[in-house]
Structure 1
Amino acid sequence: MEKFLNIMIEKILPDQSEKFFSAEDSEMWKQLVDKNNNLTRSATCLLVFRLIQSLLSPCRISSKILQDVENTKNVSKKFYSLRESRDAFLIKCTNETDLNEKVSIKLAKESSVSPYIFIVGSLNQAQAFIVNFENITYKFHSLTKAIDICFKAYTLFNIAYPEACSSVWDIINRVFYKLPDDNTNTKPSTYLLINEIRTAMEQ
């Protein structure tokens, strides 16, 4: 992970920083490159992954809506915003009470909840990283560990990645774990970024 973070900060992100359109992106980028910030490893990792999502085009998914009307199928297409993509990958919570409320909201919306990562505290000063799966919470003080456990839960139980942030999980798999992947919906922009990261890491 250390080599990956260094490559992202020193090579990949600077080369594509023109894609950081929002004030939030610019602020995160400034925090990463400011040597006086003394960011923790988890804070650095978090900022890198949030900026990675800025490099990817909006996530488009196709969901078939079956209707028994004249034996036809209507197809709807949805585009996720950058905010939706980021919130699908990691959900921010101000404190434990906020965490419990957001977990309850997730459970109310979804009959079967996929593994999710929650951060308790601010982006730069996280108190804990929580992986919630089937209403069981696992607490970590490292984002890297939370990502590892969450990814392994997806893999072990053969659960599809959340569509809004599937590109990030594709990158995590193909760069770090290199497991066989039957996903045929990976976008060209994601493949290009994966290949760029792999090439840089092999040098």
Structure 2
Amino acid sequence: MEKFGESPTSETKKALAAALIHGFPSLKDESDSSSGFGYWFTPGRNRRPATGFLEERLRNVRKRMRKPARSQSTQQTPPQSSEAGTRRTFIPECTISEERAIQCKEWLKHNSQPLNQVEQYMQDTAVYRAKSLRENGWDIQGIRQEFPHLFTPGMIAQDFQILHGEAAPKLFETWLPLFKDKILHLARREGKLISSLDGLTPDCLGELALSQLPTLLPPTVYRVGRKVFRYTIEESKLAFIDHKPVGTNLVEYLHEAKVSRPYPYVLSLGNDIWHTSQAFVILDGEALEQNTLLQAVDVCFKVFYIFDIDYTKQCEAVWKFLQNAVYEIKGGEESKPATSLRAAILACK
């Protein structure tokens, strides 16, 4: 950097990468038949940023160099924290070096086999990934580009388990035995649930209880500048769990969702809201299939933490209730309806 500055040209970085593998042939990228230094530096194309170990190293050095200036500016002007910022939790220390984490990250960008190695590298880089996401603030498309295997089944849950171990199994452990019946009782008491529940299995009742949360936790008023907004309960339902009949054309549905619904949510396919045939987490227009609706809600909740993004405004009260009451993760301001619902649940016998 002393010679070429903070942001050397692409040609300079190519020359550095070429010189590196020329001096150390064992570091050559055998999968790159054109230059041999793909792992070390690959120029950006089609609006995509450059990648490689050298590029990552330069980015990290630039961040360290600019931190003092950032801290001075934040002392002068208090930061306007996002909702995600107010509920952020402690990230543990990484168990591998930054250089090793970058190597694993680059390997994961270009490989999907063997699966056991993918899983191991994802596990090893979970803390590094969490810190990178928090520092860079990428949107979902940017995250997909940087960490494509987060979209691989099981990886979101694995990252959450590493970062928030005690909270990870809470929904599965508590929803059916502790929350299901009380939620349904309160929904019926308030006239939100009028259908007969006779003959429904515990799993079906658990799914029905989840679908009742938006009716018990109506969206609160919020401001953007001078404008005041308040979503309807129906909008909250759709942003939490969108229920569609079996046979829905998923290709068309996902195409529309990618354009109009940029936030994570759950899609349930079934002939009625009591029986879910298929459940998905919809993320950036992609359907991540889950075994049950409960698992889909669990993974969707964890997406907000792993991707370090704000809860969806339409159903923010629902996610905050799950965060505080079910997962028992502290942080962020709970809405008054959520506080009231928690009190009502505690009062139920």
TM-score bracket, shorter-length normalisation: 0.7 to 0.9
Task: For residue 159 of structure 1, report the CA deviation from its aligned partner.
Answer: 1.1
Q: Give the structure-2-normalised TM-score.
A: 0.45
Match of 1:5 among 176, 189, 195: 176
* Deviation digits for residues 142-163 of structure 1 (CA, Å, limit 9, x no counterpart): 1121111111111011111111
Equivalent residue runs for 1:22-101 within 5 Å: 25-27=193-195, 30-31=196-197, 34=198, 37-39=199-201, 41=203, 43-64=204-225, 75-95=226-246, 97-101=248-252
Matched residue SS, 2:267: strand
- Summarize deviations over 1:65-90 as a string: whole Å, max 9, x none: xxxxxxxxxx2222222211111101
Q: 1:109 to 1:51 in 2, by over 3 A?
A: closer
Rounded Cα–Cα distance in structure 2 between residues aligned with 1:191 and 1:101: 39
1:2 Cα deviation after fit: 6.1
* CA offsets 1:39-98 (integer angstroms, 9 cap, x no match): 361x3222112223222344323222xxxxxxxxxx222222221111110112224543
Counterpart of 1:130? 280
Q: Which residue of 2 aligns with 1:118?
A: 267
Partner residue of 1:68? none
Q: How does 1:138-149 map to 2 (within 5 A)?
A: 138-149=288-299
Give yes or no for contact 1:88–1:165 (8 Å, CA) kept in 2.
Answer: yes
Q: Could you tell me which of 181, 187, 194 is aligned with 2:342?
A: 194
Q: Tell me if structure 1 keeps the 8 A contact 2:219–2:317.
A: no
Answering whether residue 169 of structure 2 is matched by residue 17 of structure 1, we say no
Task: Check conservation: 1:99, 1:120, Cα contact below 8 A.
Answer: no
CA deviation after TM superposition for structure 1 residue 126, in Å:
1.9
> Secondary structure, in 3 states, of the residue corresponding to 1:26?
coil
| Alpha-carbon distance, 1:100 to partner | 2.9
Unaligned runs of 5+ residues in structure 1 are: 65-74
The answer as to whether partners of 1:114 and 1:159 remain within 8 angstroms in 2 is no
User: 1:130 Cα deviation (Å)?
Assistant: 0.7
Distance in 2, Cα, partners of 1:130 & 1:47: 16
Counterpart residue number, 2:138 = none
Measured against aligned partners, the alpha-carbon deviations of 1:109-159 in whole angstroms (never above 9, x if no partner) come to 25xx22221011232332210112123321122112111111111101111
Structure 2 CA distance for aligned equivalents of residues 10 and 121 of structure 1: 22
Q: Give 3-state SS (helix, strand or coil) of 2:249's partner.
A: helix
Return the letter of the residue paired with 2:322: I
CA distance in 1, matches of 2:254, 2:291: 19
Q: Which structure is richer in relative contact order (CA contacts within 8 A, separation 6 or more)?
A: 1
Q: State percent identity of aligned pairs.
A: 21
Asked whether the equivalents of residues 5 and 48 of structure 1 are also in contact (C-alpha less than 8 Å), the reply is: no
Q: Which has the higher strand share?
A: 1
TM-score (normalizing by structure 1): 0.73
The Cα shift of 1:192 comes to: 2.0
CA distance in 2, matches of 1:12, 1:116: 21
Q: Using the TM superposition, give the Cα deviation of residue 191 of structure 1 relative to its aligned residue in structure 2, in angstroms.
A: 1.1
Q: Is the 8 A contact 1:130 1:139 kept in 2?
A: yes
Sort the Cα spacing of 1:124 and 1:13 in 2 relative to 1 into closer, same or farther, 3 A. Answer: closer
**2: distance between equivalents of 1:108 and 1:57?**
26
Does the 8 A contact of 1:118 with 1:131 survive in 2? yes
CA contact (8 A) 1:151 1:169 kept: yes
SS of the residue aligned with 2:277?
strand
